[in-house]
Structure 1
């Protein structure tokens, strides 16, 4: 039963929101934002702000479900129907296999640039094993502290870089007016949907519970945590856009697509500001990538443990028990070692297609199922959606359906 008492929000309590936002902002998001700045200047700044508001709505809904009902998001999906298991099982297995290789290789790139004693695949394997060992032998409290340090590092690095390139404040303000220049649709969708949005958004409720927030008395604190985290994420993404606009757009410098575009930027920075600034950026690049490794290794393993627990009839286990379960550790191993084959062999085309198709459905699946759950009798009346939450989730659902269609079309075209 929801309680009326509300605990006081405090800066000292912030944690799960920082973890989920940082995990969701990967190197792919950074490259997409840099390239949006490189090609369109500040024109798409408004899209980054709307993207943050959408993620605030989604994360708040996930956290509210956990606190208001005392149940996990997977409990809710099971209530909706066993068809959710049919979708989730192949998705989480294939997603983990491909994402493991992607996250390890992205984190290895700055390490290889800083310390070229090993090839990228060698550093990638070290990164994967480091993530495995850290999550295996530590609990949420330690995990959160390390994530917070990495977030601080990436935030200070990129925001500091945005200050160094000296943004034109007048042009920044013009970017707040929604406009769509020719050829900007893909980048607009990326900014709207990519500001900290992955399967790890579904893990937010588990991290909230791991923090010790177990019932509705923590609702105010959770909402404060969520908003502060995504405002910080928004500032981080805006700073990235400023770097792209000031350093690349004004100089007609083009980046390569994919994670190597960040290495291109480090070369530009070295040419413009010297080796020290380039090294600092590469350290921030590493921090941004490694937060995604640690966040996924921990958060998605919790989701998998809950999924298998439901199949075995073990529901509502404490997070601490899930962190030590064989299911949690089995998925940790799955994220780490089988993907190493992809590091050596490349990604098989058919697997990439299945990964893209299944992955593109997840965010609309999350938004629409939250709408279903939080407007039903499964949620105590006082914590059901109001019109603001419903509008936010509807916008999120429609946005991600468009992104899903775009992803499917791109996959078909690529095939």
Structure 2
């Protein structure tokens, strides 16, 4: 079973990045264990959406946007969806890439001290892996990095000696503390990531070529994303157990733990943050390239235009971080666009997996549709909150 683990591990690597680490850290510091249920709900929603995306990928042997383009009969609607997706994912991933590289940079600084060359080093590492590696090599690299990252954060959580009774209670009994709604939205928003839907469908067809492999796709999705959720919970538990008040990023968490556990705390958190930053710094450009490939009908990972897209995303991330440029307006646009894309793609995803002309006998069950509608409802709420936050209404 573990030999079949593949695309799901890249999806897990994509959502457990510096942003997730920071959000989980803040949730733990401000609300203790009481937000664990929100992480669990986010992970379940992600598994359900990603399973649908993976099923479409292996059954149709096409990218998600290829299928969407075929199924939308109204020309102007099709072009509108393609334009929105392209803008949201390409601009969004370019804007967020600096944060991914910045997370890896923080990890290096925690291990070796400050240096202005770290962004270039991370960028060069990502470039080499993307340029010279095929899918199978990337899969092995990511499995190693995610395993390493998970081990670091799990050890950090165990070091804090958390209360298992409190963890169990807050994991399965929803509790919304005062002022916690935006934290719940942030936890869901950093886990249920729109570009991962495209990434997953495209990667699945790179690994599996037969409809008989649907069971393997499902197990890969459940195990990989479940492990990613476990990492997120470990970060929240570590932060909840640490004596911290003022936290801006994950390395502040390490510094707060140092008086209790010595230098080992800094090394574990720094190594985990480095692994999380590197994996996200690679998956964000890769996902953007797969989206462009699917929208514009290119020839896959070896197409020069495919490579050009991920190179531009990677370059912009290194450039913004190296020169301390904060493209606030670009990031705000990306937040609005992604807030619109998630519900649209969730609706299209549910529509496609219920079409027998596309999926044959592998359409959704009634239970999957009920859960799917619940996720769509919440994604609309999530998107609305994201947009209102940008324009200053919340």
Pairwise TM-score range, normalised by the shorter structure: over 0.9
- Equivalences for 1:370-385 in 2 at 5 Å? 370-385=349-364
- Equivalences for 1:51-70 in 2 at 5 Å? 51-70=42-61
SS in 1 for 2:178: coil
Cα shift at 1:234? 2.1
- Equivalences for 1:150-169 in 2 at 5 Å? 150-169=145-164
Pick one of 263, 275, 287 that aligns with 1:287: 275
Cα shift at 1:374? 1.5
Q: Distance in 2 between matches of 1:349 and 1:277?
A: 33
Q: Distance in 2 between matches of 1:414 and 1:118?
A: 39
Cα 1:25/1:185, change in 2 over 3 Å: same
Q: Structure 2 unaligned runs (5+)?
A: 73-77
User: Does 1:263 find its partner at 2:251?
Assistant: yes
- Give the alignment's Cα RMSD to 1 decimal: 1.9
Cα shift at 1:296? 2.0
Cα shift at 1:345? 4.9
Pick one of 142, 145, 149 that aligns with 2:144: 149
Cα shift at 1:48? 1.3
SS in 2 for 1:413: coil
Q: Distance in 1 between matches of 2:129 and 2:50?
A: 25
Cα shift at 1:336? 1.9
State the partner residue of 2:167: 172
User: Does 1:107 find its partner at 2:104?
Assistant: yes
Are 2:199 and 2:287, in contact at CA under 8 Å, matched by a contact in 1? yes
What TM-score results when the alignment is normalised by the length of structure 1? 0.88
Are 2:153 and 2:269, in contact at CA under 8 Å, matched by a contact in 1? yes
Pick one of 209, 216, 225 that aligns with 1:214: 209
Q: Distance in 2 between matches of 1:170 and 1:132?
A: 45
SS in 1 for 2:98: helix
Q: Structure 1 unaligned runs (5+)?
A: 1-9
State the partner residue of 2:311: 333
Q: Distance in 2 between matches of 1:275 and 1:288?
A: 20
User: Does 1:35 find its partner at 2:26?
Assistant: yes
Are 2:254 and 2:270, in contact at CA under 8 Å, matched by a contact in 1? yes
What TM-score results when the alignment is normalised by the length of structure 2? 0.92
Cα 1:64/1:52, change in 2 over 3 Å: same
Q: Distance in 2 between matches of 1:164 and 1:345?
A: 35
- The runs of 4+ residues in structure 1 deviating greater than 6 Å are none
Q: Distance in 2 between matches of 1:197 and 1:180?
A: 23
Cα 1:341/1:236, change in 2 over 3 Å: closer
